[in-house]
Structure 1
Amino acid sequence: MSIEAFYRDTWAEIDLSAIEYNIEQMQKRLPQHTGIYAVVKADAYGHGDVQVAKQALRAGAKRLAVSLLDEAVKLRRAGVTAPILVMGWSRPEDMPIAAENDIAVTVFQKEWVDQVKETSFNKPLKLHMKWDTGMGRVGIRSTKEMDTLLSVIKASPLLELQALYTHFATADEEDLTYYQEQTARFQDMYEHFKRVWPHPVEIHTGNSAASQRFPEHMHHFVRFGISMYGLYPSPVVKKERPIDLNPSFSLKSQLIHVKKMDSNEAISYGATYQTEEEEWIGTIPIGYADGWIRKLQGMDVLVDGKRHPIVGRICMDQCMIKLDREYSVGTKVTLIGKQGNEIIHTDELADYLETINYEIPCMISYRVPRMYFINGHIVEVDNTL
């Protein structure tokens, strides 16, 4: 199998061995009693949800977490049988689908439970109660809300409270004051919960940052997201480097046209770039429709193991680079990843775009085929087109 399995000269390479390595490093860091939810929402952060989910489970992750019911159902249809949690809000009328497919869902509203009880399903619906300890997104915020919610759950024999969880807003930052406040709020709420709910439940609070930095404070499970893909959740955590990580995502292309241009000639829309002297200009087949957005004008790519800048505005399907010499059509271009002794890291792109590394693989669109590798060998090509 090779790139001839699709019909364009731009593709992403996903190293599934890196996924396995990163999970193994996390497991070594955690206490033995703490398991891992592999977070594969948003198409596994742009890596491919089915492929990453199956590899993560083979590597030792016990469960999966997604954001949407649609994502969970897709995994079930792909033959994934492991427990799956939907972390986002789901429509009450769709809960028979969740119950039928043994998919756990997030609960934090009494009105939601009341509406769910009006639907018809024959299998238990597994619930994870979300507590808002300071994220300010979704979740119950008081013991009064908790008591009300527990009372309506208890009244329905087909509703099964399986777990409690929260999410930390600042676990990746240097100042841990707010993280400690959230931890204290969770503990206060949990002490109340134990007094009013006699049945055992699971607890998962740790994201990638908290799991790496405070493994001894984790509970039954952690939710391993960004770092499963080989990226640290912040510069602070990257500097601390609690575990070693291998990036799993790289982005490749090839030169499709090379030309020599005279001085004072313009490149691309708006003529925003003009040659200062005779220059070799290469064209590569990737543009903003692929997620390689216009703000990346000026960013470097790698050709022949050397950095070459993107010149002129990035088009919908193509962009141009300034070359240091003439190269032949078909010469490989690396936009994310290593080539020779040089590397363009996802973090570098994030810094250039003034965003976070999470966003970079997520923004590479479905038009870019994904090639999956294990131990350096291609095992699958996913071309959704």
Structure 2
Amino acid sequence: MNYYRDTWAEIDLSAIQENIASFRKHLPQKTNIMAVVKANAYGHGAYQVASAAVEAGATWLSVALMDEAIALRKQGIEEPILVMGVTRPSDVRLAYEWKISLTVFQQEWLHEASKQLVDGEAVNVHLKVDTGMGRIGARSFEDIQQVATTIASNPHFIFEGMFTHFATADELQSELVDQQFARFEDVVDMVRQMGVEPTYLHCGNSAASLRFPTKLFNIARIGIAMYGLTPSPEMKAVLPFSLKPALSLHTKLVHVKKVEPGDTVSYGATYVALKEEWIGTLPIGYADGWIRRYGENGEVLVQGKRTRFAGRICMDQSMIQLPHEMNVGETVTLIGRQGEAEISADDVARQAMTINYEISCLLTARVPRIYKKQGRILEKMNAILNF
């Protein structure tokens, strides 16, 4: 698959697999690894990452939407997939047809979904427990007990799992994570006393899986860390093993010009040249996910040196300062390494006052992905032309 603009992201699938392998050594052998590939695998490419993760030892996959799960099935992924978000009860038949596990937590949902299935049809479900995240999930012991009873007694549902999600596992000084652990353990005990034993119990996101490997029951959900990114800046000091970033982002100079003192660059004329200088134009902008804020104090790498943006980032293009005249076609790195210099997703996130998750997730379909393994190109994916 070709692409016709010199802007692209490179995804190192070997890095994905190394990170999975590191988790496999870190976690108890009984703990399954669930690779979280929602949001197009955090911008990395859901199918490619899912395939690499499974090859490296992941036995489960999870997504946020039914659409994402069906897309993986259509691409040939056969491993168990959990939809962690809310699915409409009217769509439960799709879960049955595509063998997709669903997240449930509402009594009324179960009643409505059951009506969509006929005798002999059953869907795997995971009961979501809200222990403190405050997003979705059954909260009170009474509600949890009612939902668990309905699942266990209704032939249209298989009580495959039960799980919760931590709000502050990436904070080293948080009491809430301990409270959530304790509450989930109480819920597990209560359900077991009812005579119900879900096959899978899981509470470990990347942060919890890194910090508390022996407390995660029998599935660890690995998301951001699988991509080689640390769940939070403060966790960098306590990582039990190094993480290898999988994504880098590159473009090329498409125009180079000399500007004079007083000349302005980009919208709003916010950049005014104070002296004679060289300015380069890049074919990447906020429609690609390289948002305007990145231009305020952001940097790129060119010829192994850091240099700054010049003026506001536009929809399709952006401008940078150049230390001297350069040739059109010179490679510019926005995330990644050139020689000894590196700009990480964490660097970009810090400059933009956000988190590294958002940096890769924002990369749009206009940016082609080049997939590599062991330094060799496996695939070029251009979503615009992939029809």
Q: TM-score range by the shorter chain?
A: over 0.9
Match of 1:375 in 2: 374
RMSD of the TM alignment (CA)? Answer: 1.0
Counterpart contact for 1:29–1:215, Cα < 8 Å? yes
| Gap regions ≥5 residues in structure 1 | none
Match of 2:291 in 1: 293
Partner Cα distance (2:130, 2:335) in 1? 36
Cα deviation digits, residues 27-81 of structure 1 (max 9, x gap): 1110111110000000000000000000000010001000000000000000000
The letter for the 2-side match of 1:183 is F
Per the alignment, in what secondary structure is the counterpart of residue 268 of structure 2? helix
Deviation at 1:244, TM superposition (A): 1.2
1:333 matched to 2:319? The reply is: no
The letter for the 2-side match of 1:274 is V
Counterpart contact for 1:100–1:123, Cα < 8 Å? no
Match of 1:128 in 2: 126
Match of 2:55 in 1: 58
Partner Cα distance (2:219, 2:145) in 1? 24
Deviation at 1:118, TM superposition (A): 1.2
Match of 1:38 in 2: 35
Cα deviation digits, residues 250-297 of structure 1 (max 9, x gap): 000000000111111000111000111000000000001001111111
1:244 matched to 2:242? The reply is: yes
1:89 matched to 2:86? The reply is: yes
**Aligned counterpart for 2:102 among listed residues 105, 112, 120:** 105
Match of 2:213 in 1: 215
Partner Cα distance (1:271, 1:100) in 2? 56
Deviation at 1:150, TM superposition (A): 2.3
The letter for the 1-side match of 2:93 is P
Per the alignment, in what secondary structure is the counterpart of residue 180 of structure 2? helix
Cα deviation digits, residues 92-147 of structure 1 (max 9, x gap): 00000001111000000000001001113553200000000100111111221022
Deviation at 1:243, TM superposition (A): 1.8
Q: State TM-score, norm by structure 1.
A: 0.98
Partner Cα distance (1:379, 1:236) in 2? 35
- Range with bigger deviation, 173-182 or 275-284: 173-182
Deviation at 1:364, TM superposition (A): 0.8
Match of 1:8 in 2: 5
Match of 1:355 in 2: 354
Partner Cα distance (1:155, 1:116) in 2? 14
Counterpart contact for 2:191–2:197, Cα < 8 Å? no
Deviation at 1:200, TM superposition (A): 4.5
Per the alignment, in what secondary structure is the counterpart of residue 226 of structure 2? helix
Per the alignment, in what secondary structure is the counterpart of residue 356 of structure 2? coil
Match of 2:270 in 1: 272
- Range with bigger deviation, 142-151 or 205-214: 142-151
Partner Cα distance (2:148, 2:30) in 1? 27
1:90-239 correspondence runs (5 A)? 90-121=87-118, 122-239=120-237
**Aligned counterpart for 1:263 among listed residues 255, 261, 264:** 261
Counterpart contact for 2:299–2:308, Cα < 8 Å? yes
Partner Cα distance (1:222, 1:120) in 2? 31
The letter for the 2-side match of 1:23 is I
Per the alignment, in what secondary structure is the counterpart of residue 256 of structure 2? strand
The letter for the 2-side match of 1:118 is K
Partner Cα distance (1:163, 1:154) in 2? 11
Match of 2:306 in 1: 307
The letter for the 2-side match of 1:108 is F
Partner Cα distance (1:372, 1:192) in 2? 46
**Aligned counterpart for 2:67 among listed residues 50, 67, 70:** 70
Deviation at 1:151, TM superposition (A): 2.8
The letter for the 2-side match of 1:90 is T
Counterpart contact for 2:148–2:191, Cα < 8 Å? no
The letter for the 2-side match of 1:334 is T
Partner Cα distance (1:143, 1:262) in 2? 70
Partner Cα distance (1:150, 1:310) in 2? 55
Partner Cα distance (2:283, 2:253) in 1? 8
Counterpart contact for 2:254–2:280, Cα < 8 Å? yes
Per the alignment, in what secondary structure is the counterpart of residue 21 of structure 1? helix
Counterpart contact for 1:38–1:56, Cα < 8 Å? yes
Per the alignment, in what secondary structure is the counterpart of residue 150 of structure 1? helix
The letter for the 2-side match of 1:110 is Q
Partner Cα distance (1:254, 1:129) in 2? 48
Partner Cα distance (1:154, 1:341) in 2? 58
Q: How many residues align?
A: 382
Partner Cα distance (1:368, 1:54) in 2? 21
Partner Cα distance (2:107, 2:298) in 1? 49
Per the alignment, in what secondary structure is the counterpart of residue 367 of structure 1? coil
Counterpart contact for 1:142–1:189, Cα < 8 Å? no
